[in-house]
Amino acid sequence: MAAISTSNFRRLIGVWKTFGQISSENQVLELAGTDSYELILDGKFILHKADVTIGSEKSEIFEMISLDETTNKVKMQYFNSKGESGIMTGELTNNNFKIEGEGIKFSGMINSENSTIVGKWYLQTNNKSWKEFIDMKLEKQL
């Protein structure tokens, strides 16, 4: 039985320093914080915690990540400090990291040393096109 602990997602395990930029026409808003990924419940799940500040707004997220063996994708169920929750699907194929939720998606890369993740979040507009939202970089600390 495949386990998330032996899947490509094990490359996320650790503590990361997070940097981001939200750009709009003439202005840039900085995002900064910490993301951590740890195996829990006998290695059956990954617990992702994010603690980030966007401008002056602080946001915390807890996310449970579980592997779907048939598709090799993960279910990512998140809860945040605004009281919001939702489910996204993640895929980590070779070094390509993709996440997709309702009206939002992430596309990025993890390097072969598993020390850096770089990518972008996109929002889906009412016209169904995708609009760039946040540029992200995560650097492994531990």
Partner 1 sequence: MENKLSKRLGDIVTALPLKDGMRILEIGCGPGAIAREIANRFDNIYVLAIDRSAKAIELAKKNSATETESGKLTFIQSKIEAFELPENEELFDIAFAVRVGALDGRHPGIEKASLTSISKALKKNGKLYIDGGDPLKEISLKNY
Q: Which of 1, 55, 83, 94 binds partner 1 (CB under 8 A)?
A: 55
27: contact with partner 1 by CB under 8 A: yes
Residues in binding contact with partner 1, number by CB under 8 A: 21
- Rg for the chain (alpha carbons), in Å? 15
Q: For residues 115 and 140, is the Cβ–Cβ distance under 8 A?
A: yes
Q: Which of 1, 70, 113, 126 binds partner 1 (CB under 8 A)?
A: 126
Neighbouring-strand partners of residue 59 = 52
Q: Which of 1, 24, 70, 113 binds partner 1 (CB under 8 A)?
A: 24
81: contact with partner 1 by CB under 8 A: no
69 three-class SS: coil
Distance CA 10, CA 5 (A): 5
Distance CA 117, CA 130 (A): 21
Site track 96-125 with partner 1 (rule: CB under 8 A), x = hit: -------x-------------------xxx
43: contact with partner 1 by CB under 8 A: no
Q: For residues 36 and 49, is the Cβ–Cβ distance under 8 A?
A: yes
Q: Given the rule CB under 8 A, which residues bind partner 1?
A: 22, 24-27, 29, 31, 54-57, 59, 103, 123-127, 129, 131, 133
